[in-house]
Each structure stands twice: as C-alpha cells, then as structure tokens.
Chains A and B, each alone.
Chain A
C-alpha cells in the first residue's frame, strides 16, 4: 500500500484561480483521531485514484458545532456555524462530501437556516456515484464470501434516510451482507451520538456500544462495517471488550473499498 496521497487545500487552489469539483469536509474525528485518520486517508486514496478534483479546508476547517448543539449549547453551535459558513461562502463552495454523518447532517440540514446552502453528500453516497459513473471499479475478490454486517449510523440512517448507499457498496464487494436484528429504521445507536462521545454514560446495566456489539456478534460477521468515525470507535471498543478483535474487523466503507482495490 503506498502512502503517497495528494491533498490539495482550498487556499492553494484558490491561489491558482481554481475551483474544485467538491470540498471534502474532513471533520474533527477525521483530522485528529488516530483511528478515524485512517478512514480519511482511505477515502482520499480513492478520490486520488478516481481523479476527483477535490480540496480540503485544512487549517481553515473548524468543528461544525454538532456536539455543542446536541449538548444544548445553541450559542456555541451558531458561532461555529456562522464562522464556517463565512469560510465556505468565501470559497463559493457548491458541493461538500464528508465521511462523518454528524458533519453531514449539520452541514446539510442546519447550516441552510444560517445562510449556508450547499449540496452535501455522505462519502458512501459519493462513492456509489463514482462507481455508477465508472470512475472507480471494485475488484471484489478479496471480500468474496466474507460476512459483512453494516451498522447504521443514526445521523445517516434515521436522521437522513440514507440506508442503501453503504449497503449497495458492500454488495458490490461480492461480500455477503448480513443484517443485524436491529437495522435500518430500527437500527440501534452506537452510544456516541448527542455528544455522548465526550462524556461518561449515565448509570445503567450496560454500555450501549456493548449491547450493539452483541447484536453484531449474533450474526457472526467477519467484518463490522461502519459509515461514521464515532460508530467505528464505539464498535471497535465493543469488539475489544468481547475479545474478538483477532477475528472480527471494524472497518469503514471507504476502507473496505480502498483495501479491495489495494490502494
């Protein structure tokens, strides 16, 4: 696997008088979290391979404000939103792709009310589109016969009704897509949404990510696929808790595709 990746920034393209086809909104997890950075890179490798003319904001990107809003700090959320919208509008951004369903939801649904209207797509939707346009191909072999279950991120699935794009991609890998007992509209949260990622859970009998991991283990998957960096962390922790990390991998859809193509 080569580590050479090409990541243009909006600022550098702007200096050259160029406008990318799409802005890749990396998100805080994708920028700073060691596990999520791998997802970011896998996605960029696919973008590079497909010759997608994209750019990132880099140091000009800031938190969308999603965790602040879900925690109840509307003020901080709107400050973040207004600041980000100024940057996005200054670059005349039209289309945004992101691998984080929380950024996706906020940018897509909550920014328009504050003056930031863009076409926002989740990376699984974007990848599906690249595949349909023939800009990427997926040589299935590697995942043939593997049992993959998809954990629906709440902010992608229930919150925005995106259920099929990630599943279509898994099917294209020639893998066997197996569904957990709670899936799609009835999917169970990983436990990280609503700013829970950043605090201790309230007292209960069990952690939510353990409950969800147990549901995943019931269908005996080889791989638990996720489409959200937070779900990824929660499910990875769950698999470790069950001491199954040697036999079950937790992977983002972008990582599956990048690794199928041996990028």
Chain B
C-alpha cells in the first residue's frame, strides 16, 4: 500500500509527459509541411541572436514596463522549475523534501527562500498583466483579432500562474517540517499562522493537497502549451535562432522566377520548345496556403505570442486600415492547425477541404495595405517576420492571379514599357540636367 501514491504519481507523470510528447511530434510534422529553407549559414551569429533575444530578452525591454514584468515572470518560471525537480523526485521515490537530505540546511533554505520571493514577484507581475489586459484595456489586447479564444487564452495563462504560485506558497506554509526548519520560509512564515489551531492531520492534508494540485497543475499547464500562444516559451529559442540575418529590406529573390528570367534572356533558347514529358510541374509562384510558406514562416506562426507589438507599430493599423501583422501570424497558425487536424483525421494525408489561407483567412485588402516598412519585424520580441508572408502572398496574387489593384497594374505596365513607374519616356531621363 505504501507505494500506491508513488505509482499514481509516476503514472500521472508518464501520461502528462507522454501526451505532451505526442503533441510535440504533431507540432514538428505541421511545421515540416512548410517548404524547405536552408538556414544552416552563419551559426555563430544565430547562437548569438538566440542568446541575446530569447535568453537575454533584449527586445522585450524596448517597452520597459511590460519588458520588466516579463523578465520577472521569465526568471521566476525558470528558477522555480528547479523546485519541480525536487517534487518529481519526491513523488517518484516517496521521499519528502529530498533536497534537505542532499544539501545542507542553509543552502536549501537559501534556494527555497529565493523561490518564495520570486513566487511573490511573479504573482505581482501576473496581477499587473491581468489589470493591463482587463481593466486598463490596453489597445493592443482589444483589437478585432483578440476576441474569443485568443482573449481567454491570454487570461487563462495568467490564472494558471496565479494558482500555481499560490499553491507553491501554501504548500510551504503548511509543511510543518519546513516551517520548523526556520530557514528559507521568508514568505510562507507569514502564511503559516493562518493554519494555527488546526489539527496536525488537517494541516498535513492541506499540504498534501497543495502539493498534488501543484504538480498536476504543472503537467496540465505543460500540455496546455500546445494549444496556446504560450508555446512561445519553448519556440522563442529556435525561432530567434532561425530568424532573418540579412538586412530587413532585403527580400529573397524567388529562384523559380530567376530560372524563367534567365531562359527568357537567353538568345539561344527556343521560345516554342515544348517542355520535356517528364518535366516537373512548374512551381507555384508565391503563397496561397500554408504549405506554400517555408517551415521557418510556419515556426514563426507557432511562436507568435499575440502580444501585438507588431500591430501597434504598424502604420497601416495605426491609421485604421484592416491590416494587422499579428492577425497575419494568427491566421497562419489557425490554418496550419486546421490542416494538421485534417491530416490526423485522414490517416496521415491531407484531403483538400476547399479552403486556403488566402481569402478564407487573410483578405486581399489586408495584404495591399502593407507599406513593407518592417516596423512589425523590428517590433517583434522573438524575431517573427510577418512581412515575408505578406510579400509571398502578394506574389501569388500578382503572378498567379493577376489580381493586383489596377493602379499597380498601371505602375507595372509603365515599368515594363518605359523603365519607370510613371508614364515617361526613358529617353527623357536626363532632361533634368538641362532644365533650369
């Protein structure tokens, strides 16, 4: 009988981690639905970016208040997780506060004391975050795309953190052994008196309950990640590693087009040559669905935290236009999840569902409102590039569907005929030199 709780604990742990692992597998599969992109270059710079941007949070603190609070929650999250290690060992081996057997009292006290202080700081930050979202109603959390799930997702994460932090403090406060230790109970010593007068058995029951809910809560939270924008706590690292290294203004040259252009410019090419029988299907220009995007762009979509810093810097959005770079990323993720579910439901193959990212999720109006100014790319704290998706979809609209706004068609016609976006003759290009 004495092993029963250890067995239950181990089973819960395996189930929790197992379910998470199976979802991570799906995550990888979905991201790999994207086109291949070689990002094996410049590894030192990539590691540096990851260390600076993800680990060092350098872009978070551009906005000092949110940035500072985020750093607290981030550090708290990482450090307090050391405590989870102890919980897991205790749970599996039936020990209690194994740390006390391994470390000396003052070291253990210092560690737990630090966790308690961090727990209070995290609690405070999370409450401020909640107030910013729900009472101050910061504009970026109340945009059109932030209703329904995205809105509740944001709050659920905050509630989770509040509950977990409270449970951690409660667990310490009701642990007689720990309180008697008199070391490290920096915060919990003030909560402990609440339970004075209760029977020893009841206090112990509360301690055990808090302990169990805390670890189960952590496992539930772990599995919640896959369905949530909170996935960024894991994906921010690879995403910053694979982020764009070249100047922001440099858009990649579509190689499929280069081949066509070279052929056209080659005077010896036969313009009437029929394609070889076994020639591959010509590549689609640009992107109309998630599978036309690169895997890095899909990773971007899963990494998006929906913080809206991109949208609040977007000149089109600021002036009331439909475009929101955050919505571009959310739409991409939503569609990718939909495609993934389709594949799961159809035994591993995608069955066309008559939908696509373009039109069903992202409208032409949004795409054409972009000024390609890179404000969204600059603003993103985790190196997401919404602009690249917008540009790929514009390519599809123009090169596959000839669906550019008529003004742009005029501009392109002028470039083609006169070598300038306006209807002026190329022969007049130097006239300015002689005009007074």
Complex CA distance for A210 and B318, rounded to whole angstroms: 11
Question: Is A65's CB within 8 Å of the partner chain B?
Answer: yes
Task: Tell whether A186 pairs with B378 under 8 Å between CB atoms, given A158-B373, A198-B421.
Answer: yes
B368: chain A residues at CB < 8 Å are 199, 202
* Residue B313 is within 8 A (CB to CB) of chain A in the complex: yes
Instruction: Using known A-B contacts A79-B264, A160-B247, A205-B320, determine if residue A194 contacts B372 with beta carbons closer than 8 Å.
Output: yes
Question: Could you tell me if A62 and B426 are in contact, using CB atoms closer than 8 angstroms?
Answer: yes
Partner-contacting stretch, out of B42-50, B169-177, B394-402:
B394-402
Closest chain A residue to B400 by CB distance?
A: A72
| B interface residues, tally (CB under 8 Å) | 71
Cβ-based interface call for A146 (8 A): no
**Is the Cβ of A158 less than 8 Å from the Cβ of B378?**
yes
Q: Which one, B250, B254, B369, B399, contacts A201 given CB within 8 A?
A: B369
A232 CA to B436 CA, complexed, in Å? 21
Counting from the closest, the 8 A-B pairs by CB-CB distance are A159-B249, A205-B320, A194-B372, A72-B394, A62-B419, A109-B250, A204-B320, A72-B398
Chain B residues close to A by CB (< 8 Å): 246-254, 257-258, 260-262, 264-265, 285-286, 313, 315-316, 318-323, 365, 368-375, 377-379, 391, 393-399, 404-405, 407-408, 410-412, 415-416, 419-422, 424, 426-433, 435-436
| Contact A37 B420, CB 8 Å, known A32-B428, A65-B415, A73-B398 | no
The smallest C-beta distance from B373 to any residue of chain A, in angstroms, reads 4
Q: Which residue of A lies closest to B424 (CB)?
A: A32
A44 partner residues in chain B, CB cutoff 8 A = 433
Q: Determine the distance from Cα of A162 to Cα of B15 in the docked complex, in whole angstroms.
A: 53
Q: Which residues does chain B contribute within 8 Å of A188, judged by CB atoms?
A: 315, 318, 375
| Chain A residue with the shortest CB-CB distance to B317 | A204
A189 touches B375 (CB 8 A): yes
Highest count of chain A CB atoms <10 Å: which of B262, B394, B419? B419
User: Which one of A53-61, A125-133, A236-244 contacts B?
Assistant: A53-61
A199/B408 in contact, CB under 8 A: yes
Could you tell me if B365 and A58 are in contact, using CB atoms closer than 8 angstroms?
A: no
Contacting pair B246 A109 (CB below 8 A): yes
A185 contacts which chain B residues (CB < 8 A)?
Answer: 378
A75 pairs with B261, CB closer than 8 A: yes
Bound CA–CA A8/B164 (angstroms): 74
Give the distance in Å from the alpha carbon of A204 to the alpha carbon of B404 in the complex. Answer: 19
Q: Is the CB of B430 within 8 A of A59?
A: yes
Once the chains bind, are A159 and B248 in contact (CB under 8 Å)?
yes
Nearest B residue to A202 via CB reads B369
A105 to B433, CA, bound (A): 25
User: Which residues of chain A are within 8 angstroms of B258 by Cβ–Cβ distance?
Assistant: 78, 114
- 11 chain-A/chain-B pairs, Cβ below 8 angstroms: A31-B424, A68-B411, A72-B404, A74-B286, A76-B412, A76-B416, A78-B257, A79-B264, A80-B419, A198-B407, A204-B321
B426 touches A189 (CB 8 A): no
Contacts of B412 in A (CB 8 A): 68, 71, 73, 76
List which A183-209 residues lie within 8 A (CB) of chain B.
185-189, 191-208
Answer whether A67 and B411 are a contact pair too, CB < 8 Å, given A186-B313, A204-B319. Answer: yes
Name the CB-closest residue of B to A195.
Answer: B408
Q: Which of A62, A189, A199 has the most CB of B within 10 A?
A: A189
Report chain B residues within 8 Å CB of A204.
316, 319-322, 369
Q: Which B residues touch A210, using CB under 8 A?
A: 319
- List residues of chain A with CB within 8 A of the CB of B416: 76, 79
The reply to whether B254 and A208 form a contact with Cβ atoms under 8 Å apart is: no
Most chain A CB neighbours (cut-off 10 Å) among B371, B397, B412 = B371
**Residue in contact with B249 in the complex, picked from A40, A56, A109, A192, CB distance below 8 Å:** A109
